[in-house]
A and B are shown apart, each in its own frame.
Chain A
Amino acid sequence: MAKSWEEINARIASGEAVVFTAEEFASLAADEGVSAAAKRVDVVTTGTFGPMCSSGVILNFGHSDPPIRMAEVWLNDVAAYGGLAAVDTYLGVTQPSTTRGLEYGGAHVIEDLLRGRAVRLRATSPGTDCYPRTEIDTWITLDDLNQAYFFNPRNAYQNYAVAVNTTDRALHTYLGTLLPRLGNATYCSAGALSPLLNDPTYRTIGVGSRIFVAGAPGYVAWEGTQHNPHADRDEHGVPVRPAGTLAVIADLKAASPEFFSAASFTGYGVSSFVGIGVPIPVLDEEIAATLALTDADITATIYDYGVAGRSRPSFGTVSYAQLRTGSITVEGKKVPTGPISSLPKARKIAAELKRWIAEERFAIAEPLQLLPQVGSQAQKPLDIRTGEAI
């Protein structure tokens, strides 16, 4: 019953494509079997909405008169990168404000821009013959910018850790507040709706895939940083710990604050929730089998964040279905759980992407290049050494 990318795109173009979200597809497969579901459905949509620190925007401000080569740049007192051309910058979501600290950062500037709010731009420069201006202090809005696009080096982590804390004090982490003595557990994945968990071996998601980024049509630009296909996998071939990642690109001007939300984690810092959705073509029964997996089939590994080292001790794995009940058992103790990745938003994203494909005839794209597969370069740690030792 194999279907080709071309066949599926032709059905999308003619408005005949059958599009299901990953949750809908799993329940169809449970009722009618994987092979019937694979026959009937052309595209399955996925979604995720979790904090993704490795995100940011490339902005071009246009030239002032006289012009300036911006060497130091601040947007609402949040420093942006000054090491690009005169009026280009990169603003990362985690950069904290020089005046409001961790309560306001790069992510908040981006959210303010998306909400149509004016943002104060300040820049300084040593001044040169072709760029004589040494200072600028003005206000900009998203509409004023020439180019404004997301370039997020690492989004859509394929699975994540479940965090617990065995120490005697509360820890403030990027996975939230972890209460002492196994007081709670937090986890961060859309589970059965998560893009890369639905295509665990990166058959259909690769460089050039057309995707949903914060409400805008975008692309997978490259493998994400720390992309690691070698993580342990279960019997379905699905990783049981953090594994693959995506670098994504999309127009900020087409994005929506409904699918991009700034976040401040007390004691940790600034980050942003980014909505990512990826369509997966039901090419054959093999891919249909992973698309049919539910939260009961997908597991994550529990780690002790009380140990701040590279290799944290693990307490085994637990299914997302169990995590979503509100408590798990660790070391014989009942531990309340809290997610960080918003499932209601992930569902909205998968539904919105389904609408794009079914109604707006959003075409899907075969990868121009596959993401690194098992057997590619392993993730390397950073060793601390001297120049002489190299």
Chain B
Amino acid sequence: MARKRLDLTFPPRQSLKPVIYHLVKDYDLVPNILRAQIHPAQEGRMVLEVTGTKEDFAAGVAFLEGQGLIVNEAASDIVLDEERCVNCGLCTAVCKPDALTLDPEAQTLCFDKDKCVYCEACVIACPRRAITLTF
């Protein structure tokens, strides 16, 4: 079993529900949607974490591509530049899932990537531009 992150780009007018349904039903994959921006008339994007065997994962990705989706396996990542960070803590005020918190004693920034849902709120909030979303 492996857990991988996928960055999906949907062409306009592609509905998303059947795709996820088929990943579960036909390929035995367990998707966890981290982030989705779907608008019927526009290009959509979804970032999800998928758990399953290697074989199922490969078959699932092939299925998604067959559906006309652009699948990026080297999914986007949230990167913290510790050199630029001044530990102001502003990002912690906008991080809803508490991926970014301050150490209670030292008041220095702690980043628990497992909790991150790639919402990018911190990217916009950081006055030092120390957090970036890389592709």
Contacts and interface: CB of A to CB of B under 8 A. Distances in A.
A198 interface: no
Contacts, number: 73
B79 interface: no
A206 B78 CA distance: 45
A338 B88 CA distance: 8
B91 A345 contact: no
B107 interface: yes
A49 B104 CA distance: 18
Interface in B82-135: 86-94, 101-102, 104, 106-108, 121, 124-125, 127-129
Given A176-B125, A326-B102, A342 B93 contact: no
A266 interface: yes
Contacts of A325: 104
Contacts of B102: 326, 339
B94 A184 contact: yes
A342 B92 CA distance: 12
A196 B90 CA distance: 23
Given A185-B93, A266-B124, A271-B127, A326 B88 contact: no
Nearest to A184: B93
Nearest to B127: A263
A194 interface: no
Contacts of A182: none
A262 B102 CA distance: 21
Nearest to B103: A344
Interface in A329-356: 336-345
Contact of A341 (B88, B93, B106, B108): B88
Interface of A: 49-51, 103, 176-177, 179, 184-186, 261-266, 271, 273, 324-326, 336-345
Given A186-B93, A339-B89, 8 more contacts: A176-B93, A176-B94, A179-B94, A185-B93, A263-B127, A338-B94, A339-B90, A342-B89
15 contacts: A176-B125, A176-B127, A177-B93, A179-B93, A185-B93, A186-B90, A186-B93, A261-B86, A266-B125, A326-B92, A326-B102, A338-B89, A338-B93, A339-B89, A339-B107
Q: Which 9 A-B pairs have the closest CB atoms?
A: A338-B93, A263-B127, A343-B107, A339-B89, A184-B93, A344-B87, A176-B90, A338-B92, A342-B87
